[in-house]
Amino acid sequence: MFKMRDLLVPVSTVEDIFPQYRETPVGRLLEYHNLNRSFETYAKAELLVGMCMDNRKHLRIPDNFAFIIRTGGGNLRYSEFKVSYAIAVGGVSSIALIGHTHCGMVNLMARRDAFIHGLVENAGWDEEWAEEHFMHFAPMFEIGSEIDFVLSEAKRLRLRYPKVRVAPLLYRVEDNLLYQLKEL
């Protein structure tokens, strides 16, 4: 079994970027965010970024560079029409799928009671209704491990959009950097 550190590839120089991403929108994302590349001006998006809605993550990218879809866990399964739109109408040819460490969608079932209590206290829901809501949606949004999910979602998107480059990445909230993921 592989550990997370065995699959993470840091980007500290341009040469660290995987060859298939160099001089592409994915490579530029890594350069902007990790290497402080100077911003260029963009008239239209070149990249679709799928990432978690978590508030601890912020990308360093120029205006108009990317469409960004933020969902729990970076799960694009239920945002596929938006993905298709970015490709078909927006003209993007690359997707950066970004998971992150310490994601709340991992082991979601362990947060069941807090979720239900939060809806009752913060939203005024009936406890039974809140429980039903959680039990209906939690299985759809549970992602398992962050890395496993990002790698499997990248494979799924590649099958769905075979002409689109899909890069699985991980944002480490510990250092606010993006890491490439080795695909075995």
The string of pLDDT tens digits covering residues 28-51 is: 999 999 999 999 999 999 999 999
Q: What percent of the chain shows pLDDT beyond 70?
A: 97
CATH of 4-106+143-181, one of 3.40.50.920, 3.40.1050.10, 2.40.430.10, 1.20.58.1610: 3.40.1050.10
pLDDT (tens digit per residue) in 71-130: 988 999 999 999 999 999 999 999 999 999 998 899 899 999 999 999 999 999 999 999
Torsion, Cα of 115, 116, 121, 125 (10° steps): 130
User: In which band, very low, low, confident or very high, does the pLDDT at 172 lie, cut at 50, 70 and 90?
Assistant: very high
pTM over 0.85: yes
**Pair 32, 49: CB distance under 8 Å:** no
In the structure, how many helices (H) and strands (E) does the chain have? 6, 6
Where along the chain do its domains lie? 4-106+143-181, 107-142
* H/E segment holding residue 30: helix 25-35
Dist CA 42 CA 39 (whole Å)? 9
Sign of CA dihedral 111, 114, 119, 123: negative
